[in-house]
Amino acid sequence: MKTGIERVGTIMVVGAGVSGIQAALDAAKGGFKVYLVEKGPAIGGKMAQLDKTFPSNDCSMCILSPKFIECATDPNIDILTDAEVERVDGEAGDFQVTLVQRPRYVDAERCTGCGTCAEYCPVRVPDSYNENLATLKCIHLAFPQAVPAVSFVDPEHCLFLRRGICQICVPTCKNKAIDFHQRQKVHEVRVGSLILAPGYEAFSPQVQSQYGYGRFRNVVTSLEFERMLSASGPNRGELCRPSDGRHPKKIAWIQCVGSRDKSAGNPYCSSVCCMYAIKHVLLSKEHDPDLEAHVFHNDIRAYGKGFERYFERAKSTPGVRFTWSKVSVMGEDKETGAVRLRYRLNGTSVQDDTFDLVVLSIGLVSPETSRELAEKLSITVNEYGFCEGSPFSPIETSRPGIYHCGVFHAPMDIPDSVTMASGAASLASQLLSERRGTLVEKKEYPVERDVRGEPPRVGVFACDCGTNIVKTVDVKKVVDYSRGLMGVVHAEESTFSCSIDSVTHMAKVIREKGLNRVVVAACTPRTHEPVFQDALREAGLNPYLFEFANIREQCSLVHMGDKRSASDKAKDLIRMAVARAVLLEPLTQISYKVKHSALVIGGGLSGMVVALSLAEQGIPVHLVEKEKELGGTARRIHYTLERNDIQEYVQSLVSRVYKNLLIQVHTESRLLDFSGYVGNFRSRIAVGDRGVIKEIEHGVTIVATGTDEFKPAAYLYGQDPRVVTQLELEQEIYAGGELLKQCGTMVMIQCVGSRDEERPYCSRICCSQAVKNALRLKEQNPSMDIYVLYRDMRTYAFREDYYRQAAEKGVVFIRYEREDQPDVTAAEEEGRSVLRVTVTEPTLGGRLMINADRVALAVAALPAAENRPLSRLLKVPLNEDGFFMEAHMKLRPVDFATDGIFMCGTAHSPKFIDESIVQAQAAASRALTVLAQEELKAGGLVCSVSAKRCSGCGLCEQVCPYQAIALGDEGIAVVNQALCKGCGVCVSSCRSGALDLGGVSDMQTWSAIQALLG
Ligand SMILES: Cc1cc2nc3c(=O)[nH]c(=O)nc-3n(C[C@H](O)[C@H](O)[C@H](O)COP(=O)(O)OP(=O)(O)OC[C@H]3O[C@@H](n4cnc5c(N)ncnc54)[C@H](O)[C@@H]3O)c2cc1C
């Protein structure tokens, strides 16, 4: 890159799946203008097609649509759909991008997405959103919650565009939005940096005829199955098989279709299929508890956070079977539509079985269009068409200034995609940091209408949530009922209240009908309250004049199959919400200045990367490390699976950290005290061993405390020096140790301390670590016999290539069951002392004996010992395994629920070096969304004190978990609005009734109770 170039403060994100959306949001919140370019007609990518997500079973659209709205309403994000990048000239900091945008034949400025045109359109086309399992009209919205909520014409099928006839749709549009004069547009745009997130396409099983896909009616792909399960799917969430619409009673899943398969051209592992199949099993059982589910699989790759528990849950569900076997699709019963499968049981006896439905768990492939994109941009991709990056700079592409994320990097799940997207935003903004904030616009809202003194005019907006609510609750009746409630002047039903058109409509209704209180009867305030509060602000109302009635989680989802009672309960919930709403008063917030500095706890690899990322963007950082040296566990690792030198990388990081004047390194130091709130934290750290205490103020806090290595008491570890952990073995290999040179037979035992009762999680890295060390040993000593005793080899994504290489080089992999563990004893063999390892060989069924010279144990990665005390100090939670718990498993994998505190690296869960680097960069990006602000707001739903009533007893100060209330100089309690979380503990403890919680007054609670009791 030339120096002295004037950088452009705009970032272009190409591809608007969940990765692209996250990258765009982070970049915009971090102070940049963003173009979000999507080749399809709407944003959302594949995640918008999924039913629920593993392992949390969140409804995909429910968690995605608030992000859609954030993108659509952010003045700094320009969404360009139907658009593709044609060429990119220039260099990092100043690119000229040529974009081509296809016509929609509908004017986006005029279309309201009302759908009248579709009612009249005479042509039906396959519905690609529903994987062509249904049809819809030739002019249509991409899907109900689409952003932009603008219809488009399918040019392949439109009678006018193909044959010059029809145009029926034109006069039906009262806004005159349909415009067949539209032509392809070319845009020239200057941007400082690009982020590529073009995602994946699903493998087409049609090319592999052995699965019977396309021939047998009841063989479907996993993506089709997602749509079949979905409430917005072709059967509105009813699980029906394609041949006759009957409910399947027996379903089979076939794993690794188009993955781990050289003949399909995809020898790599698709990383997500095992988990989504497990999800499918559990969701199918929700649809029909009596259903039989049978999964035919290879290694089950449940390697992510919470995955192993999810797998165990599925295994222990009655009627669910997992069989490790290859399987052949033998044929279809023409009469019943049942599909015949043949498989081997325990590798020996052949079994036949029939199923009502067969689901093919298809892999993730890089589409041809992504290869073309890479070619146009002169970006290198790997042999499979993915843009792998390098282990120490995974997000960078081969062209400076262009970054990438999501499945374009490698097959990965949603949280990993989201994390990488934030990391990409951080790198892009790092490049352009001098232009941060120079082009951004602030979102402007109309002046708030003063509603005090007005009689209540409540609007009730009830949501069907596709079918999630309406299947169980009679929403029409509930809406009719709401109209009769005191204070209610408007009530209406909508299919998806959270879609952008519904939210815009809500703001319009509030204005037109002069509403001054709003009740939304829908899902959870956790994800959706900000969406609806924004609609109130758009309509000029104070956002706190809003009340939620959760008729989904608290009603339809828990009373399935009992429509009458569920509808009655929904009425009760709405009646109570209205009773509370009429007493709502406008609340205000205060502004405060942000401290532009960061505290990073943990000076391992992740901590150093995040510190550098921030410091190189001008943020002063305090880096606190408990040991004498920086580097953490990485100091003990020498090479990656891909053979890159880790020590060289760690040393370069350490040197960059020490040379950076904005980073203050505190080694042999610990956090003593922590207080404050986002943008304004205060910490005390004990520095060095001389009792020096340092006080620091910082706007954000990042936890990067890493993991510890488990030291087992089994397999003679600690008793016989020939038994070591994989990490110890790696150090020996690197040092060229004597013991290894004499080793003729090495046995590696996997899952030592992981995936057991005490630690029911997978340590993720151990399988690849064993493969890495086995390959190194084979290189040093090709005649060495190496046995890997494993439960499932979890070499996901392109790590699979190394697993295959190891097998090709003669490493023997033997599978053992959790209930039948290997055994290691010291023994004599022909006068030689050996380690005798016995294990049950699954194909032979008998016990195999191996006389080994050395044994290496793949031990569990433990949560750092620091985590527990730190979680207490920071008041942030740990999960049941002792790792830090994120705000939302899927969409906020780097944030804590407490604003301004973030995590990265193995403090979150075990992960590889490249994954830790990505998450550290993501943490920097998330931190910058706070640090890019000059001021933040606090208050609203917080406590207030009535000075007249306060007796100064101080009980509130004792019980407040956030130190948000204290006795002031006059002996009266004073609330710090920025610290108060509105939990209400102080209110219930106050004996004088001096405390009130905004939006939840005693009067409101009484009123709600009275409303319930009628
Ligand atoms: C059956 C199935 C079930 C799954 N279930 C789960 C689950 O439960 N939980 C989970 O975590 N993961 C699941 N996954 C994986 C999940 O879908 C992905 O992790 C995630 O969607 C990846 O998002 P992405 O943004 O990287 O890619 P995508 O969702 O593919 O988005 C890419 C976007 O880029 C656009 N695009 C492509 N090329 C261009 C271009 N040249 N110019 C402009 N735009 C372009 C595309 O149109 C698309 O909108 C599942 C996958 C499958 C197949």
Residue 236: pLDDT band (50, 70, 90) is confident
pLDDT tens track for 784-799:
999 999 999 999 999 9
* C-alpha to C-alpha distance for 933 and 87, rounded to whole angstroms: 34
Nearest C-alpha to atom 48 of ligand 1 is from which residue?
45
Residue 804 and residue 267 in contact, taking contact as beta carbons nearer than 8 Å: yes
Pocket lining: 226 vs ligand 1, CB cutoff 6 Å: yes
Average pLDDT in the chain:
95
Q: What are phi and psi of 600, to 5 degrees?
A: -115, 125
- Does residue 498 surpass a pLDDT of 60? yes
Atom of ligand 1 nearest to the CA of 373: 41
Which residues, 6+ apart, have CB-to-CB distance to 595 below 8 Å? 679, 680, 681, 697, 698, 699
Cα of 443 from ligand 1 centre, angstroms: 29
Pocket lining: 198 vs ligand 1, CB cutoff 6 Å: yes
Cα of 412 from ligand 1 centre, angstroms: 9
Strands (E), 138-263: 139-140, 152-153, 185-191, 193-196, 201-202, 219-221, 250-257
Nearest C-alpha to atom 28 of ligand 1 is from which residue?
199
Residue 13 and residue 421 in contact, taking contact as beta carbons nearer than 8 Å: no
- Least Cα distance to 16 among 87, 76, 84 occurs for 84
**pLDDT score for 347:** 64
* C-alpha to C-alpha distance for 426 and 29, rounded to whole angstroms: 11
* C-alpha to C-alpha distance for 801 and 15, rounded to whole angstroms: 28
CA dihedral 290, 291, 297, 299 (to 10 degrees): -40
* C-alpha to C-alpha distance for 114 and 436, rounded to whole angstroms: 39
Pocket lining: 764 vs ligand 1, CB cutoff 6 Å: no
Pocket lining: 406 vs ligand 1, CB cutoff 6 Å: yes
Place of tokens 């845009």: 187
Which residues, 6+ apart, have CB-to-CB distance to 473 below 8 Å? 551, 555, 556, 563, 566, 567, 570
Nearest C-alpha to atom 30 of ligand 1 is from which residue?
199
Tokens of 994: 């001096």
Atom of ligand 1 nearest to the CA of 84: 42
**pLDDT score for 1:** 41
Between these two residues, 346 and 911, which has the higher pLDDT value?
911
pLDDT tens track for 34-86:
999 999 999 999 999 999 999 888 899 999 999 999 999 999 999 999 999 99
Residue 1014: pLDDT band (50, 70, 90) is confident
> How far from each other are the two terminal CA atoms of the chain, in whole angstroms?
72
Which residues, 6+ apart, have CB-to-CB distance to 861 below 8 Å? 707, 708, 709, 710, 754, 763, 764, 765, 766, 906, 910
Nearest C-alpha to atom 12 of ligand 1 is from which residue?
413
Residue 716 and residue 723 in contact, taking contact as beta carbons nearer than 8 Å: yes
pLDDT tens track for 411-438:
999 999 999 999 999 999 999 999 999 9
Q: Could you write out the DSSP letters of every residue in 91-133?
A: ETTEEEEEEEE---SB-TTT-----HHHHH---EEE-GGGTTS
Nearest C-alpha to atom 2 of ligand 1 is from which residue?
223
- Does residue 346 surpass a pLDDT of 80? no
Pocket lining: 37 vs ligand 1, CB cutoff 6 Å: yes
pLDDT tens track for 359-391:
999 999 999 999 999 999 999 999 999 998 888
Which residues, 6+ apart, have CB-to-CB distance to 761 below 8 Å? 305, 306, 308, 309, 754, 755, 881, 909, 910
Strand 10-14 relative to strand 33-37, pairing: parallel
- Does residue 560 surpass a pLDDT of 90? no
Residue 122 and residue 135 in contact, taking contact as beta carbons nearer than 8 Å: no
Pocket lining: 50 vs ligand 1, CB cutoff 6 Å: yes
Pocket lining: 414 vs ligand 1, CB cutoff 6 Å: yes
Instruction: Find how far residue 596's CA is from the centre of its chain.
Output: 28
* C-alpha to C-alpha distance for 830 and 827, rounded to whole angstroms: 10
Nearest C-alpha to atom 7 of ligand 1 is from which residue?
53
Q: Rounded to two decimals, what is the model's pTM?
A: 0.94
Q: What is the DSSP letter of 554?
A: I
Residues composing the chain: 1014
